[in-house]
Structure 1
Amino acid sequence: MEQNTTKRIPYRYYDIVMAVFVTVLLLSNLLSSAKIIDTGFAVGPLAFIFDAGTLIFPISYIFGDILTEVYGYKRSRRVIWMGFIAMAMMAIFVWLAGALPGEAEWSGYAGQAAYDAILGGVPGLAIASLIAYFSGEFSNSYVLAKMKIATKGRWLWTRTIGSTLVGEGVDTVIFFVIATALGVFPPEIIVSLIAFNYVFKVGIEVLLTPITIQIVNWLKRAESEDYYDYDTQFNPFRFDAA
């Protein structure tokens, strides 16, 4: 079912996958600012702690795999850019809301300090997230697209997991290094955050691989599409999907 044609009927589920993908990204950034979770476990000096956004963020890579595997790198690239724009908008308006003066009654029961404590880190997180997300998602999509050609479409599980190992590695290291440098996370826990978050995210991908494969196979049948990026220009700075 290899179809590399630009003239076709509109996809039925592409916009739904894009909407879920962007929603997951925004939620993960909001949760990352809200709370750091401590599981109470440790391996040597490494504590199992993670920001709350990690609970949902791995799902974005699963949907990134689905997008690239079914619709191809070019259409996945367009969705990645939409996610990038949505995160930038969220960061700007969260910062703007925090900069504007608070109403007197609100200041009495909530106050600027509460807003800053929970949402004040979002702009810093967004800067780290935007750079890490851009690097990680495009690495993930590129690796999956290339592996699909190399394996001739066989062994889907190898490319969903293999691309995640690369993409999540790039994303996790860049995110926590930049966020810590901007004061979002304390430097003392950066190694634990990087190590546990990476293992957790990849673990989620591995555990959900059977579900990912089922969704991919269903979408390929429903959309009559199974795109191979033979002639794709992998420049991440292009926005077109044609």
Structure 2
Amino acid sequence: MATDPRSASPQATSAQALAERPFAWFDFVMAAFVTILLLSNVLGAGKVAVIQLPGIGPWPFGAGILFFPIGYVLGDVLTEVYGYARARRCIWAGTAALLFMAMMSWVVVALPPAPEWGGQAAYEAVFGQVPRIVFASIVAFWAGEFANSYVLARMKLLTGGRHLWMRTIGSTIVGQAVDSLIFYPLAFLGAAGWTGSLVLKVLATQWVLKVAWEVLLTPLTYAVVATLKRREGVDVFDAGTDFTPFRARL
């Protein structure tokens, strides 16, 4: 009687042994990763929302924080299920997509509008981007995601694949710290209305909130990782992996 591969236990193997193997679900996870990255930057980054906190009152926050951390969860899933080398490809794909989005936004906004079209001001308000902030966002994403993936892959080797929660939260603490330490000073330090203390306060607040999101999403991460490992049939360990970020080969 044949065994359903979807119900079989995943087999531990090295990433190098699977360098040329196709995976059934990898492309879908990569597409979700890049999609969330782009949409969180387009739709969420420019809006400051507010929430009423008991005993504190109104508390402003960047709307992008609701969805951007999901990209880090998917980054964890990519590294945990498919290994660092494939996660590295996804990070480069996301970086290229961000660069193209920034270029396309600049070109489209800069095109002279037709005289009868009255939406230019609104279009500029939504899609017009400050080059400094765009540059900071791309650099911070690139460095933070690679730090996140590296720490998770290394911790998986050190723990022998145990304690997934420790790896996902630990890697997010490091990755989001790198992201925040690069983005907020690079984007806002010295800008009008931004004092050094305000940059530090926003940096620390956003870092804590993003890590808290990762903790809250841990059950979802467990479910997604377990399902993908079972369906792919492998549990990838990065023994012998070249961890340089500056390559695309598996």
Normalised to the residue count of structure 1, the TM-score between the two structures is 0.89
Q: Structure 1's 124 and 182: CA in aligned 2 closer, same or farther, altered over 3 A?
A: farther
* CA distance in structure 1 between the aligned counterparts of 2:147 and 2:55, rounded to whole angstroms: 30
Question: Does 1:131 find its partner at 2:139?
Answer: yes
In structure 1, stretches of 5+ residues that fail to align are: none
Partner of 1:173: 181
Partner of 2:18: 6
Shift of 1:191: 3.1
Contact 1:40–1:48 (8 Å) recurs in 2: yes
Q: Deviations over 1:187-237 (max 9, x none)?
A: 154233212211111111101101101111111110012111110111001
Select which of 197, 203, 215 maps to 1:194.
203
Question: Does 1:150 find its partner at 2:158?
Answer: yes
Q: Structure 1's 237 and 148: CA in aligned 2 closer, same or farther, altered over 3 A?
A: same
Deviates more, 1:33-42 or 1:137-146: 33-42
* CA distance in structure 2 between the aligned counterparts of 1:151 and 1:235, rounded to whole angstroms: 22
**Counterpart mapping for 1:104-123 below 5 A:** 104-106=115-117, 108=118, 110-111=119-120, 113-121=121-129, 123=131
* CA distance in structure 1 between the aligned counterparts of 2:238 and 2:130, rounded to whole angstroms: 36
* CA distance in structure 2 between the aligned counterparts of 1:194 and 1:240, rounded to whole angstroms: 34
* CA distance in structure 1 between the aligned counterparts of 2:40 and 2:112, rounded to whole angstroms: 27
Q: Structure 1's 82 and 215: CA in aligned 2 closer, same or farther, altered over 3 A?
A: same
Aligned residues: 235
* CA distance in structure 2 between the aligned counterparts of 1:181 and 1:119, rounded to whole angstroms: 22
**Counterpart mapping for 1:34-73 below 5 A:** 34-41=46-53, 48-73=59-84
* CA distance in structure 1 between the aligned counterparts of 2:36 and 2:61, rounded to whole angstroms: 17
- Aligned partner letter, 2:81: V
- Aligned partner letter, 2:80: E
* CA distance in structure 2 between the aligned counterparts of 1:52 and 1:31, rounded to whole angstroms: 8
Shift of 1:8: 5.9
Shift of 1:38: 2.7
Q: Deviations over 1:69-122 (max 9, x none)?
A: 11100000000000000000000000011111011122x3x22x3333222126
* CA distance in structure 1 between the aligned counterparts of 2:54 and 2:47, rounded to whole angstroms: 19
* CA distance in structure 1 between the aligned counterparts of 2:228 and 2:199, rounded to whole angstroms: 39
Tell which structure's C-alpha radius of gyration is larger. Answer: 2
Deviates more, 1:174-183 or 1:89-98: 174-183
- Aligned partner letter, 2:140: A
Contact 1:48–1:196 (8 Å) recurs in 2: no
Contact 1:49–1:192 (8 Å) recurs in 2: no
Higher helix share: 1
Question: Does 1:219 find its partner at 2:228?
Answer: yes
RMSD (Å) for aligned C-alpha atoms: 2.2
Q: What secondary structure does 1:227 align onto?
A: strand
Partner of 1:29: 41
Q: Structure 1's 118 and 75: CA in aligned 2 closer, same or farther, altered over 3 A?
A: same
- Aligned partner letter, 1:165: I
* CA distance in structure 1 between the aligned counterparts of 2:181 and 2:108, rounded to whole angstroms: 30
Normalised to the residue count of structure 2, the TM-score between the two structures is 0.87
Q: Structure 1's 76 and 182: CA in aligned 2 closer, same or farther, altered over 3 A?
A: farther
* CA distance in structure 2 between the aligned counterparts of 1:186 and 1:75, rounded to whole angstroms: 41
Select which of 146, 161, 167 maps to 2:169.
161
